[in-house]
């Protein structure tokens, strides 16, 4: 049977047995499904039917669904079976029939002369062997035995026989059907059976017994009604029906491969390189046409990057067999010809798809002309490992995709230093961020005939003279002062702000740019004018300098505390020190535990309370080294260096500004710890008045939340007595109290609360209504249901523009309740095992929200 007949027989079989025919959904998942980037399974467009969130068009349905899986992109071409795009045939029961009927219907189609007509003596079955959460599926074993399947051809397997489409959603144990293709396809071991890695037993149909909904955090809850979801790949059934070893030898690919062979002269099976190229082009050619026909366009992120990646990989392999131009439009024409009658979008969007693919091919062809030759040179002079620096240069300067560099290097028996490449990418991003901080016209050096003397360690208000000065648009100036109290950005510390005043005008300092051991100032005129040569008063904004000093000294305490808790391998890898917060990157190869973070925070606050003096002195570099002062690897130090010492605790070389004693810091709070890059962790923290305000707000919020929780519990008890507890009704009954409790920060309304006995779906409805009434708003709600904790965060676009993200909030607070979660910037959810910690979780959420909004102002 050819592929078209396989599709028809499958759908006709189930349509004649009461299943409504549904069209394939798009490869772009609907807006309500954020669990995957691209549709990966036949049931995904139907998930809301399984969850009971939407009524299905009929109790039974059958489809042939377009699917794409990104995880196998790099494997396509290397094996006889890996694909990206494939067609998944399925039959579905939405609470209608269950295991017995699913097994009977599948067996009838597989063995019937009008179906697939497979030899029933060569069919094997697998069932779920069970685990601590889900029992072994002995019911399925008995049902297979009842239709005549011998016990010796029923195999119990583990993880692969529990199926889920993504990290959350409908799931359940499954039975898979395999066909024994004979010893010629196998490994030769006597124990070979389904589950073996060889190709003798080919799985072609999966019957999923949908019983559960996988929650964020890994918990399971029963579905509203047990259902059936099956999936049989057109390509695999074709390989079995047509008696070929590989899916690439079926008509589904053979018709495309035959065309490519005519264009190129390459031959399948002649040598490894030609065979790989033909496999890649036939698979990626199909995939790119289907992706583009569903509206996806090449880009640098998300689905766009997936399409760009497969187009560029296909073009590279086309060049390997002599195809230099017009590869993608020819591939599209053949794919549309072969599949256009089944998927009309291929022909309806033909002109647009050809234009999109041709543009991408032309763009990458130009990249290959330069980057390909350079990669050849790199490979020729590299040993067993291509340096990350070479891979980065190819990527950054010539636009050569890193994944393709890795693949081509592997073809030559070489590896790529991926860790070094990742480090260089991180450094590039940091440079890009830093470059935006300086005003463009301040890049050129001013010739004032002198070097500015920085006096800002001792004086914050000085009388001085303006040297050279240039004007820009909108009142901007770049100028030099003979003596300057303004600290120039450097060493992780932000530049000072302040004011420059003369008899004739006033300008506000917006940036101070470091020029080796000199500086230039960027200022904006507020009134009058500032002229070169005149005397001025320059004074630093103390309201910004003081918290910056507190944060800088706190980084030194933090560094020493980390080395004390984690070990002497900890060294600084970068920092940010400003009036709003500090960020400290350090070398450490694993996440810190909550206990380790708490101990570091305790040590820093202990040193603050001890009121230790901060000694600062200048000495010779070698003397500082002998004194044990910390020096950053890779930094260039002069003969004389500045040492910042906190006696008996910390001693570092540093050019930044600091408080006089640790007590001036006031308080220190760690906000978060996360990965920065390979082998580097990042801590964000606050100190000084910012930390004190944070702690005061947290205490006030705790008191308020305690009162709200008591009120909500009382309300819940009333509703339970009146038969209205739980679900959406309970959420509606509490909305007025939640609306009244809303706080505000920077024009954004904030609601954070624990709402008892509301199920997760009702929690979403409550949050949507609150956000609509309070917009712009951020809503974080928690609920305990059936002994588990549930959290939901919902964020307006206006808050997202200020740096807030629902998924970031959820990932920060979910561990508090012993769970995990995910989602997107606008909405995210989590589940956990410790509902008693819900008040603490929502309290942490509000603190994080307020800090983010304050820092964005």
The predicted pLDDT at position 364 comes to 86
**Collapsed DSSP state (helix, strand, coil) of residue 614:** coil
Name the pairing type of β-strands 777-785 and 748-754.
parallel
What is Dmax (Cα atoms) for the chain? 102
The CA distance from 827 to 34, in Å, is 10
Compute the Cα dihedral for 793, 796, 802, 803 and give only its sign.
positive
CA-nearest of 70, 63, 76, 62 to 253 is 76
DSSP 3-state assignment of 548? Answer: helix
Query: 441 near 471, Cβ under 8 Å?
Result: no
- Round to whole Å and give the CA distance between 608 and 606: 5
φ, ψ for residue 645 (rounded to 5)? -120, 130
Q: What is the DSSP letter of 592?
A: P
> Could you report how far apart the first and last alpha carbons of the chain are, in Å?
66
DSSP 702-746: HHHHHHHHHHHHHHHHHHHHTT--SHHHHHHHHHHHHHHH-EEET
Residue 447 has a CB neighbour count (10 Å cut-off) of: 9
Please give the torsion angle defined by the CA atoms of residues 331, 334, 336 and 337, in that order, rounded to the nearest 10 degrees.
180
Residue 400's φ and ψ, nearest 5 degrees, are -85, 120
Query: Could you tell me which of 261, 317, 314, 322 has the C-alpha nearest to residue 292?
Result: 314
Distances (CA, A) of 670 to 550, 604, 685: 14, 10, 4
pTM of the model: 0.52
Q: What is the DSSP letter of 770?
A: H
Give the number of residues written for the chain: 857
Q: How far apart are CA 659 and CA 58, in angstroms?
A: 72
Pairing verdict, β 476-481 and 572-577 = unpaired
Looking at residue 825, its pLDDT comes to 80
Let me know: does 456 contact 544? Beta carbons within 8 Å: no
- Sign of the torsion angle spanned by Cα atoms 53, 59, 65, 70: positive
For the four alpha carbons of 136, 142, 147 and 150, in that order, the dihedral sign comes to: positive
Residue 301: C-alpha distances to residues 307, 393, 483 (Å): 10, 20, 48
* C-beta separation of 659 from 614 below 8 A: yes
DSSP string for residues in 58-81: SSEEEEEEEEE-GGGGGGTTTSSS
Give the ranges where 777-833 is alpha helix by DSSP (H): 797-800, 806-813
Mean pLDDT by runs of 10 across the 857 residues of the chain is 94 95 89 82 87 87 93 84 92 94 96 93 93 87 94 88 79 93 87 86 93 82 89 94 92 92 91 92 96 87 88 91 91 94 89 88 81 82 89 79 86 89 82 45 66 94 92 83 94 93 93 88 92 94 94 97 93 90 88 89 95 95 90 71 95 94 94 71 90 78 55 50 38 64 83 80 80 85 85 86 85 85 82 85 85 69
Residue 333's region, left for phi above 0, alpha for psi from -120 to 50, else beta, is alpha
How much is the CA Rg of the chain, to the nearest whole Å?
A: 33
Q: What pLDDT is recorded for position 704? A: 56
């Amino acid at each position: 049977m050819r592929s078209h007949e396989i599709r028809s027989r499958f759908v006709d079989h189930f349509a004649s047995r009461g299943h409504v025919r549904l069209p394939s959904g798009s490869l772009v998942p609907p807006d309500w499904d954020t669990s995957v980037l691209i549709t990966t399974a036949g049931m995904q467009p139907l998930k809301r039917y399984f969850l009971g969130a939407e009524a299905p068009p009929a109790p039974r349905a059958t489809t042939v669904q377009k699917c794409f899986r990104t995880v196998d992109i790099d494997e396509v071409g290397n094996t006889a079976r890996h694909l990206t795009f494939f067609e998944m045939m399925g039959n579905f029961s939405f609470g209608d029939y269950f295991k017995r009927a699913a097994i009977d219907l599948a067996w009838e189609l597989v063995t019937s002369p009008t179906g697939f007509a497979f030899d029933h003596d060569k069919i094997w079955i697998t069932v779920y062997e069970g685990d601590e959460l889900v029992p072994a599926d002995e019911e399925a074993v008995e049902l297979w035995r009842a239709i005549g399947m011998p016990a010796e051809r029923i195999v119990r397997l583990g993880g692969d026989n529990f199926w889920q489409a993504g990290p959350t959603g409908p799931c359940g144990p499954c039975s898979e059907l395999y066909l024994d293709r004979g010893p010629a396809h196998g490994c030769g071991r006597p124990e070979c059976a389904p589950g073996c890695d060889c190709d003798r037993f080919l799985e072609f149909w999966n019957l999923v017994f949908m019983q559960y909904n996988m929650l964020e955090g890994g918990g399971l809850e029963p579905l509203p009604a047990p259902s059936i979801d099956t999936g049989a790949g057109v390509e695999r059934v074709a390989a079995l029906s047509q008696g070929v070893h590989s899916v690439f030898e079926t008509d589904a690919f053979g018709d495309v491969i035959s065309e490519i062979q005519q264009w190129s002269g390459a031959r399948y099976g002649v040598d490894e390189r030609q065979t790989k190229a033909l496999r890649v082009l036939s698979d990626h050619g199909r995939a790119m046409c289907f992706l583009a026909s569903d509206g996806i366009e090449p880009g640098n992120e998300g689905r766009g990057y997936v399409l760009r990646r497969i187009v560029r990989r296909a073009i590279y392999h086309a060049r390997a067999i002599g195809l230099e131009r017009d590869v993608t439009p020819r591939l599209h024409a053949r794919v549309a010809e072969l599949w256009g009658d089944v998927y009309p979008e291929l022909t309806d969007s033909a002109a647009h798809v050809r234009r999109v693919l041709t543009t991408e091919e032309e763009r990458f062809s130009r990249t290959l002309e330069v980057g390909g030759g350079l990669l050849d040179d790199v490979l020729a002079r590299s040993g067993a490992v291509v340096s990350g620096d070479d891979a980065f240069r190819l990527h950054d300067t010539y636009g050569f995709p890193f994944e393709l560099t890795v693949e081509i290097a592997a073809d030559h028996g070489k590896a790529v230093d991926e860790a070094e490449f990742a480090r260089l990418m991180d450094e590039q991003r940091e440079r890009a961020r830093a470059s935006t901080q300086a005003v463009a016209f301040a890049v050129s050096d001013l010739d004032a005939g002198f070097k500015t003397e920085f006096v800002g360690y001792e004086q914050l208000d000085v009388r001085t003279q303006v040297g050279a000065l240039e004007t820009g648009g909108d009142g901007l100036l770049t100028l030099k002062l003979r003596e300057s109290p303004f600290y120039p950005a450097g060493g992780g510390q932000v530049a000072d702000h302040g004011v420059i005043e003369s008899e004739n005008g006033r300008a506000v300092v917006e940036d101070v740019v470091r020029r080796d051991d000199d500086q230039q100032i960027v200022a904006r005129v507020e009134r009058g004018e500032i002229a070169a040569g005149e005397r001025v008063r320059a004074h630093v904004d103390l309201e910004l300098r003081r918290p910056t000093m507190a944060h800088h000294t706190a980084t030194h305490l933090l560094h020493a505390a980390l080395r004390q808790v984690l070990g002497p391998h900890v060294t600084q890898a970068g920092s940010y020190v400003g009036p709003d917060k500090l960020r400290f990157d350090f070398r450490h190869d694993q996440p810190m535990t909550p206990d380790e973070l708490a101990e570091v925070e305790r040590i820093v606050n202990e040193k603050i309370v001890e009121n230790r003096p901060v000694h600062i002195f200048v000495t010779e570099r070698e003397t500082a080294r002998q004194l044990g002062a910390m020096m950053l690897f890779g930094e260039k130090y002069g003969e004389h260096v500045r040492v910042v010492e906190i006696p008996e605790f910390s001693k570092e070389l540093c050019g930044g500004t600091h408080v006089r004693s640790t007590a001036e810091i006031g308080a220190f709070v760690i906000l978060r710890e996360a990965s920065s890059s390979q082998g580097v962790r990042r801590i964000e923290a606050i100190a000084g008045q910012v930390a004190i305000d944070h702690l005061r707000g947290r205490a006030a919020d705790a008191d308020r939340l305690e009162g709200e929780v008591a009120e909500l519990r009382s309300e819940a008890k009333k509703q339970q007595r009146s038969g209205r507890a739980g679900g959406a009704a309970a959420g509606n009954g509490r909305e007025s109290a939640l609306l009244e409790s809303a706080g505000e920060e920077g024009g954004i309304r904030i609601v954070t609360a624990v709402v008892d006995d509301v199920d997760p779906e009702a929690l979403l409805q409550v949050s949507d209504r609150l956000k609509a009434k309070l917009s712009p708003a951020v809503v974080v709600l928690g609920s305990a249901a059936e002994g588990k904790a549930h959290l939901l965060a919902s964020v307006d676009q206006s808050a997202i523009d200020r740096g807030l993200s629902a998924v970031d909030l959820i990932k920060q607070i979910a561990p508090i309740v012993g769970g995990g979660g995910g989602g997107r910037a606008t909405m995210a959810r989590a589940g956990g095992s410790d509902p008693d910690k819900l008040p603490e979780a929502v309290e942490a959420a509000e603190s994080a929200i307020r800090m983010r909004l304050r820092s964005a102002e």
